[in-house]
Structure 1
Amino acid sequence: MQSAPARDYSRAGRAARRIFSTIFLLIILGLGIFFYWKYFYTYSSGNRYGLLQKFSHKGNLFKTYEGEMILSSVRSNNNIALASEKFFFSVADEGVANKLMNLQGKEVTVHYKEKNGALFWRGETPYLVDSVVSVEQNNPN
């Protein structure tokens, strides 16, 4: 008579293991979806035009390319920016970084992708510049 309760315990044990493994897999799947959404999903993309003020290669353990552009919104008659906003961005591609390194002090248009979060090996900002669309030469008039 002892063998019947042992079977019940083994069935209950298998059912409990199946429930726990299903919950564990759902948690892992949920974490994977969250990680993808937070760090790899492109929230928005577009172009920004402005004066490339600063571009550097920095970091302690992971060196990343970081840039800063001044986006002018209101200009005076003498083409002087009266109101401006700064656009901070990161660059993951070394070829694009080399182009931007040579364009400091010039007005450029860059294409960016905005992520929901920044990964420390990819840059400090959620804005990742992936190409320089056009370069406008400063014309002294």
Structure 2
Amino acid sequence: METTYKTAKNKSSAFRKILGWALLLLLLLGGGYIYYRYYFVFGEGVKSGYLNYAVKKGNLFKTYEGKLIQEGFGSAKVGTGISSNEFEFSIESDSIFNLLEVNSGKYFDLHYKEYHGVLPWRGNTRYVVDQVVNMK
């Protein structure tokens, strides 16, 4: 009878150990996915153009958003004709927003970071402007 109890206890202990490792692995994989999707910087670069607008908006999270009109023409959708190239972005900080807000219509070179996913408190787009490189 005692050997049956020890065998059942060993099986239960082994099951708990396997379950613990599986949960740890799931947590690590989930954390890695969240980091890759929302915090890993996929690309960085500079976009240039005329600032169309800079606004603060949002229902729950108030974020800074902007739009740059780039030189040249492109087609937004097949069959719609010619349209301007637009770069919609979110703005990282108050100081950058204030600079853009008072200089709407001017030509800017903006440094941005591109993420795979959008976080509501970071902005409405995957592109986040973190620096004004040049203003004309």
Normalization by structure 1: what TM-score?
0.87
Matches within 5 A, 1:8-47: 8-47=7-46
Runs of 4+ more than 4 Å apart: none
Counterpart position of 2:122: 122
Deviation at 1:61, TM superposition (A): 1.2
Give me the whole-angstrom Cα distance separating, in 2, the residues matched to 1:6 and 1:132. Answer: 71
Q: Deviations over 1:114-134 (max 9, x none)?
A: 000110011000100001000
Any gaps of 5 or more consecutive residues in structure 2? 74-81
- Per the TM alignment, residue 42 of structure 1 is displaced from its structure 2 partner at its CA by 0.4
Larger Rg computed on CA atoms: 1
Instruction: State the identity %.
Output: 36
Alignment of 1:1-141 (within 5 A): 2-73=1-72, 84-136=84-136
Is the contact made by 1:71 and 1:87 (CA closer than 8 Å) also made in structure 2? yes
**Count of residues in Structure 1 that have an aligned counterpart in Structure 2:** 128
SS at match of 2:69: strand
CA distance in 1 between partners of 2:92 and 2:9 (Å): 54
CA RMSD of aligned residues (A): 1.2
TM-score, normalised to structure 2, is 0.90
Gaps of 5+ in 1: 75-81, 137-141
Alpha-carbon distance, 1:60 to partner = 1.2
Distance in structure 1 (CA, Å) of the matches to 2:83 and 2:119: 31
Task: For residue 123 of structure 1, give the secondary structure of its aligned residue in structure 2.
Answer: coil
